[in-house]
Structure 1
Amino acid sequence: MKRLFSLVFIGCFLFCIQVNGQGTLSQAKAEPGNRLPGFAVNPISGEQEKVFVYAPGINIHINAPSESLFDGNKPTKLVLYALPNGNSTAWTIGKAPEEGDDWHFHIQNIGAQTRYLRATARDCNWVTVYLEADSKSWGRWRKAGPMRDYKIKETVEYLLALFSEYNPHIELNSHSGGGNFIFGFMDANTEIPGYVKRISFIDSNYNWDDKRYGNKLKQWLAASPDNHLFVACYDDANALLDGKPFVSKKGGTWHRTYLMQRYLRRKLKRLKWEKTETDSIISYTADNRRILFYSRKNPERAIYHTILVERNGYIHSELSGTKYEGTGYVFMGKKVYDGYQ
């Protein structure tokens, strides 16, 4: 009950505001003791949090390190995690298991995986920004009104400016339908901005289209050795739900990932690409794993959609291609973050 009390308390306690994207952003420095201005302190975890709505209907929950851990002299990673369809922010953050819990609390555990990242890679401030569409679907949200993609762009720029004093960069991360947020951002920009340093699709690249996104992604990857791409999927075309296929041969992430990596291999020929294949995994990597495609075979015809996140997937999406990759964890192995719930 302690964790449930925490969630209720936070909802009442956090400073909530309505923002319409107009006006000048406040860029005040952290208060004494590394207290971020306008943030509340979670009474259970000590983490600093800010919750607000960025109009129209973008629910934002920012989770930053505690006052004792946040260091204004270190660079700040703003990991924008776009929620999957149908999920609430509370479910996405997750909690320690208790009897009677809704099962959604235990399939992502981004809160605990964020704490693992903070304990493992201490050379930066890890800030997780949960992005939830009021319609619980980024696809529906994008179609609900004109210029919605530019509101996504505006939101990203707002969040970057909010941490402007702390040497920030953006990392776009997503699961399932959350990939629609990233593609909306790409649609709103003529090129992917240099302040974006990592893009991660955890079984979420359903909307990939070579002509629409290929050149933008290629140019961004070629622009800097600091730009990382992580893509993970499983053979959803071979999966069964209630004994029946539920994804067409070309409608899921398995096929989209194939198209995506094929496009980049053709267009980024100067890079040395390495293919590794086992009984269960096909992976393509390039440039010391700066680019990583992970495809999980599926002869057992199972559904690995949420397991790709649950089994240390968020951790791996953030550490792949860095010196911390594989530190204390195995992607798709045993969960390593239970002690951080």
Structure 2
Amino acid sequence: MAVLAVLVAAPAPAADLPGFRKSVWFGESVREEWVGDGVRVLANAPAKFDPTKPTRLVVFATPNGNTIEQTLGCGPAAGLDWHFDIQHVAAQVRKLRTISPEENIVLVCTEAEGLSWPAWKRKFKDGPARVRKIVEAVRTWVPGDNVRISLAGHSGGGSFLFGYLDGADAIPDAVDRVVGLDANYSYSDADKHGDKLLAWLKGDPSRRLVVIAYDDRNVMVNGKPVVGADGGTFRATGRMQARFARDMTFAETTTDDITTRTALDGRLALIVHANPKNRILHTALVGEMNGLLRGLTDPAAKPVWGTFGGPRAYTEWVQPAPGIPKRPADAVGGTAFFQTLDGLTPAAREEAIEREILRGNIPDFLRAFRRVTVKAKDAAGKEHTATFEVMPDYLAVGSDADFVRVPMTPMTAARIADAFGCALPTRKVVDEVYRAASVKWDPKPMTEARESPATFLRHNTLIKEQLAGEKPGELVAGVKKDIVITNRLAEKSNRVAIYGWHKPDGKAIQPLTIVHRDTYVDYSHGVRLMSRTVTVDGKPRDVRHVLYAADLCSLLSDEGPILRPAY
């Protein structure tokens, strides 16, 4: 696990939108689910959602080979994949919120299983209709009638955009903007894409179409052109212009290497970078050149946010890279910290716990994750092997010499997991950890003042007495119930899922339950984080993808594919 300096945002109260929870960054709200067949969606809503304001729902389709998290972006860090620092879709939308305060702007990032929208769409005869259903589904996540939809995508995400066009004879009235960021490979006159776009544009003067591309005809990699003789977005943009020019006249301006052709009073904009050095500008158009901001703002007006072409206009809105920060030199021990919780309301206590952990006040031994290897067969009988990494013990505040395991709500646990680049376990993961643990101890139930911090501290003392003589850092199990993720959370809203507290015979005292509301916390609850990265058959995979994949989910789940992988 990376050890990083993490910017801490103050925890916020309950999310304003049903189904959302507060994020660890910028006070925003988030919601993550698998919808449709093999489509993961993560929605990001502003810190304050005002139901009296109109809402813009920005649906962004990820490019080929990129996850949602890489597309949303974060700051650079040693060892972090470079894909996280190139698009910055989330930071650009945050910047947009500052210059468009009159509306709620909700970002919905969509990712196809296999990280390819073209491949995903080819799997289904009714792929375009399924794309429409995805947009319809996420539209229901946002309340109110005054909701406009802006469709955007980069690279292979253009297959999502044109799939949406192909899904019916007309573009719905709710769509107010379409933005293609080097994404119009699929444009086809034969499929009447131009006809549909023009009819839609002419139907309402508030509608916008922005296409951004670059001259990719002579770009070479390893001595070979990156696009075929008829391929690439430069040629596709030329075909679009030729079709539109049959119905309207374009105005043309050129600034430096960027030519902008506009029509319909600027509502239709085709922007092409000349690329005189024949560089690969594919993703640079999105992040380095502020392409998404250019596409989501009025193309006829002078930008108030910066300049298309760069430099980055949104740097203050880039969230830090995930990782566990170093423990501060002035951090207090666990016992002293718990004394500060006396008299606090449950909400204030959660804020204090989250703030202390996010600043890095956890024992050093928790940073040394332990590996657990499991095997499982898929439906075809093929055996798969996975190795996942977990904290050796439950999340605690303090030092190696003085730490206290900390019960907390699942929302607090989820925010900490996000900041640390981790995930919460499933029931099967908890069972596998118990089997692999080198230190197993009997549960120690308590019956009085179960929700009191004083009881939290007393229970920690009982565990400490049991583990006397054991070296911190060994894989410990049997001392807490786990907060887990499960499909059962879909049965009732605002619930916490609890499981575990295994006895010496390997059976859990606590069956999987969602009986408690998600604000309930007692002394027996614990949070054991696992890394987001799981090695499956020798290759690194995101735990979200493993939990969803039909052929791999049994490695980490005993209830089939997990559709909602986070609180």
Report which of the two has the higher share of helix.
1
Counterpart of 1:264 (choices 212, 237, 244) is 244
Match of 1:104 in 2: 83
Post-superposition offset of 1:3: 8.1
Counterpart of 1:63 (choices 27, 37, 44) is 44
Counterpart of 2:284 (choices 303, 307, 316) is 307
Paired residues of 1:34 and 1:71 also in contact (CA < 8 A)? no
Post-superposition offset of 1:277: 3.3
CA deviations on 1:228-260 (whole Å, 9 max, x unpaired) are 000010011121223432212420000000100
Post-superposition offset of 1:322: 6.1
Cα separation, 1, equivalents of 2:59 and 2:222: 34
Cα separation, 2, equivalents of 1:197 and 1:3: 41
Residues 4 and 216 (structure 1), Cα distance of their counterparts in 2 relative to 1, 3 Å cut: farther
Secondary structure at the counterpart of residue 92 of structure 1: helix
Q: Which amino acid aligns with 1:65?
A: P
Secondary structure at the counterpart of residue 261 of structure 1: helix
1:125 partnered with 2:110:
no
Match of 1:316 in 2: 294
Q: Kindly name which structure, 1 or 2, has the bigger radius of gyration based on alpha carbons.
A: 2
Match of 2:268 in 1: 291
Post-superposition offset of 1:273: 2.1
Cα separation, 2, equivalents of 1:218 and 1:198: 12
Extract unaligned runs of 5+ from structure 2: 8-12, 319-567
Match of 1:24 in 2: none
Using the size of structure 1 for normalisation, the TM-score is: 0.86
Extract unaligned runs of 5+ from structure 1: 7-31
Secondary structure at the counterpart of residue 42 of structure 2: strand
Match of 2:317 in 1: 340
Match of 1:197 in 2: 176
Secondary structure at the counterpart of residue 180 of structure 1: helix
Task: Give the structure, 1 or 2, with the largest relative contact order (CA under 8 Å, sep 6 or more).
Answer: 1
Paired residues of 2:213 and 2:272 also in contact (CA < 8 A)? yes
Instruction: Give 1:277-288 correspondences, 5 Å limit.
Output: 277-278=254-255, 280-288=257-265
Query: Identity over aligned residues, as a percent?
Result: 35
Paired residues of 1:230 and 1:292 also in contact (CA < 8 A)? yes
Secondary structure at the counterpart of residue 198 of structure 1: strand
Residues 217 and 117 (structure 1), Cα distance of their counterparts in 2 relative to 1, 3 Å cut: same
Between 175-184 and 284-293, the greater mean CA deviation after superposition:
284-293
Counterpart of 1:40 (choices 9, 16, 21) is 21
Counterpart of 2:67 (choices 76, 79, 88) is 88
Instruction: Give 1:154-233 correspondences, 5 Å limit.
Output: 154-165=133-144, 167-212=146-191, 213-233=193-213
Q: Which amino acid aligns with 1:300?
A: K
Paired residues of 1:273 and 1:284 also in contact (CA < 8 A)? yes
Residues 318 and 2 (structure 1), Cα distance of their counterparts in 2 relative to 1, 3 Å cut: farther
CA deviations on 1:115-149 (whole Å, 9 max, x unpaired) are 11111111111111000001211111011123222
Between 161-170 and 110-119, the greater mean CA deviation after superposition:
161-170
Secondary structure at the counterpart of residue 145 of structure 1: coil
User: What number of residue pairs does the alignment pair up?
Assistant: 310
Counterpart of 1:141 (choices 114, 120, 126) is 120
Paired residues of 1:249 and 1:255 also in contact (CA < 8 A)? no
Cα separation, 1, equivalents of 2:251 and 2:162: 27
Match of 2:234 in 1: 254
Residues 242 and 62 (structure 1), Cα distance of their counterparts in 2 relative to 1, 3 Å cut: same
Counterpart of 1:79 (choices 39, 58, 66) is 58
Residues 44 and 224 (structure 1), Cα distance of their counterparts in 2 relative to 1, 3 Å cut: closer
Secondary structure at the counterpart of residue 229 of structure 1: strand
Paired residues of 2:15 and 2:21 also in contact (CA < 8 A)? no
Moved over 3 A (4+): 1-6
Cα separation, 1, equivalents of 2:260 and 2:187: 18
Post-superposition offset of 1:278: 5.0
Cα separation, 2, equivalents of 1:224 and 1:189: 19
Match of 2:251 in 1: 274
Cα separation, 2, equivalents of 1:103 and 1:319: 27
Paired residues of 2:51 and 2:143 also in contact (CA < 8 A)? no
Q: Which amino acid aligns with 1:284?
A: R
Paired residues of 1:288 and 1:321 also in contact (CA < 8 A)? no
Post-superposition offset of 1:199: 0.4
Cα separation, 2, equivalents of 1:106 and 1:175: 15
Post-superposition offset of 1:74: 0.9
Please tell me the root mean square deviation across aligned C-alpha atoms, in Å.
Answer: 2.0
Cα separation, 2, equivalents of 1:140 and 1:230: 25
